[in-house]
Structure 1
């Protein structure tokens, strides 16, 4: 963490443009709604929510004691998906994101589990019957144990094996209006495999190369089988480092993207270096920086002007469900980020959608302490796994109905001082400065 903070300090020192003083975020009397075509959604991922997993790389990491918490029952989306889909629909969302887990549907080489496909069939059916669009992720960090035994993403064979699964899944759900995500956060996927021992440091560049090749092939495959579908691979936005992150993946697949998938969780600025807590997965200790989503959207708009931007993930964790010490609520977080998306759209960003991560609390890649859910689920102490609505459920329903926050909304979180989300331009603040300033 100290090295991370020193690096940020050096970057701050290098910025030589005027820095405005900190001030409360101003209301914007002319703020326009995001419009009737804007897509609102919620998100999940198979391993994180479905319940006791089949053999996979992540099931093995948990079994080997490499994680903070045991998996236990998980939130049991596998058997309670109807309730979660109904809760999403009741908020008025347009899109429900989930993943079809390769390890579930192909538990052994050449073996396809039709009972698990039947489960996903019903997930898709219920999403569509309730008026929502499926957003289907083909790979959310997880692959079968038998693929691990063959070398995982250290071998070219995995590209071919992965594409066989992709074709089976896409063919099954083609022509149902789905949006497709090939790989969730490819650079983070590589980082997780490094952290948990799936690959060695020398394997990392080759794994990224293989993910690029697999995505490019999957894009063509999906458009052959499901011609009208939209396809992307969502990227984790790393403040002050996106040029390097873009170079290793998104730049290499930009001609095989129908939109940029943006995952934004935290920012960095002269007055907020708490993002260092991400190094230890203590995301609940990070002070949210909502204005950073504006700069992230503008970064992608400027770098990939031909592509619309869809926020595939955004959310706020609470420490085991407890209120934040500063009193900032999930409703505040949601409305503040939507406000900044409205500002970004007004300033020229082609922002077309927003998924909240997540519909329920889940297994956050090693533990249950980071609680992101619109509905909270206490996996470790509540055997009933009751879904309890947080304050943000009603807030999200109101935001969706109004197509954003109203004109005159004043963000709860003050503007950052010299944002480094997209330096150096973000240090100057939003285009035209703060409204009303």
Structure 2
């Protein structure tokens, strides 16, 4: 066990990171570790049916309309094939409630068969589907009834889950019930899906549907692994956890952690997250170590899965500081492996995302391993970034023993106060 160091000691460690000889890198991850890629329904499918987000995107309040997005709805086979070519074990996608239930009591068999084929493509290529039931999108008819401000939405949502879950039981799927519940609430507040006074009610209802969906999934598929992925917000984790994850702890088979940015005394660029200008944030890869160690301490024995991690660029342009997508990927894997060496029970990692997509009102942030010019290229050609080959190499062989991260740790990291500052890795 490491003993807490002083701030001076922390500074010395960071100085040594720059000046001391490189030490051996982390060992390659074991074969049972799950490598994955991720996408979501509304963000990538296009051909959007009526939903809360179809309405938000058409309201004139977003920078870009959704259009056809990257047309995963018709190009899913080629994107799944690209994932298989990377060598990943897991392909995460979302089922759109609005697509399969266009009106109360009405189920679209064509669209259900579409998702059947998505699952077949994934499993047929030797991968495990990670199925997200709710990625912030619900049908327009649910919005007309008040959305999450209406208690009846709980029953409507569970009716949808009862239609979907048995269909894919036995497929070996990993399940995500609600994607990033606290950010879901923030988006609904921003676009008027709920009022500030209704926010606590929405959270209560998301907690209820997760808990009940967990039992439902295990009823039909006892061996399934079920979770909800949280958005890791540095320096606000206790408050964020209290809103959702602390209330569903006993209904988690693993904890999904989404890590995108850190916070430190010498890096406060995370403020750009407030305006969704994620490409203006200076990445802090060492923060993923602190995030994973925090939940290792908080929930002893609960497996952790990095459900989302990636780097946005500004319209696909190189970062001004020269930090590449490959640098970002290697650095985060390095620190994730360090966390595993120090006892974090991390069972998987998904890269967000397999292709660029619609980032909730704009196409400007580009997260994809494959970039797509959704607004200017009618062919929607998938073009590999430098990280495609990098990810493939990592999956096969891990990081080189001599690897030293391209990005230095933040000085006095605030990712997990006070530990990440006074006792850095």
Give distance in 1, aligned partners of 2:310 and 2:295.
19
Q: Which residue of 2 aligns with 1:245?
A: 240
Instruction: Quote how far apart the aligned CAs of 1:167 are.
Output: 1.2
* 1:78 correspondence with 2:69: no
Q: Tell me the CA shift for residue 34 of structure 1.
A: 1.6
Q: With the length of structure 2 as denominator, give the TM-score of the two structures.
A: 0.96
Q: Does 1:300 align with 2:300?
A: no
Q: Give the CA deviation at 1:247.
A: 1.0
Partners in 2 of 1:166 and 1:413 — Cα distance?
43
Cα separation, 2, equivalents of 1:44 and 1:114 = 23
Instruction: Give me the whole-angstrom Cα distance separating, in 1, the residues matched to 2:311 and 2:404.
Output: 19
Matched, 1:410 2:413: no
Gap change, CA 1:401 and 1:379, over 3 Å in 2? same
- The CA RMSD over aligned residues, in Å, is 1.3
How do 1:325-404 and structure 2 match up within 5 A?
325-402=320-397, 404=398
Q: What is the aligned residue count?
A: 416
Partner of 1:10: none
For 1:3, the equivalent position in structure 2 comes to none
- Kindly indicate whether the alpha-carbon contact (under 8 Å) linking 2:47 and 2:73 is maintained by their aligned counterparts in 1: no
* 2: CA distance, partners of 1:426 / 1:45: 32
Aligned partners of 2:405, 2:68: CA distance in 1, in Å?
38
1:291 equivalent to 2:301? Answer: no
SS of 1:20's equivalent in the other structure is: helix
SS at match of 2:415: coil
What is the distance in 2 between the residues matched to 1:171 and 1:274? 44
Q: CA deviation at 1:64?
A: 1.2
Structure 1 runs of 4+ off > 6 angstroms? none
- Whether 2:256 is the aligned partner of 1:265: answer no
- 1:52 to partner: Cα distance: 2.6
Tell me, yes or no, if the aligned pair for 2:25 and 2:403 is still in contact at 8 Å: no
Instruction: Measure how far apart 1:415 and its partner are.
Output: 1.3
Partner of 2:36: 41
Q: Secondary structure at the match of 1:137?
A: strand
Q: Distance in 2 between matches of 1:369 and 1:52?
A: 20
Quick one: distance in 2 between partners of 1:252 and 1:280? Answer: 28
Aligned to 2:116: 121
Aligned to 1:7: none
Aligned mates of 1:198, 1:127 — CA distance in 2? 34
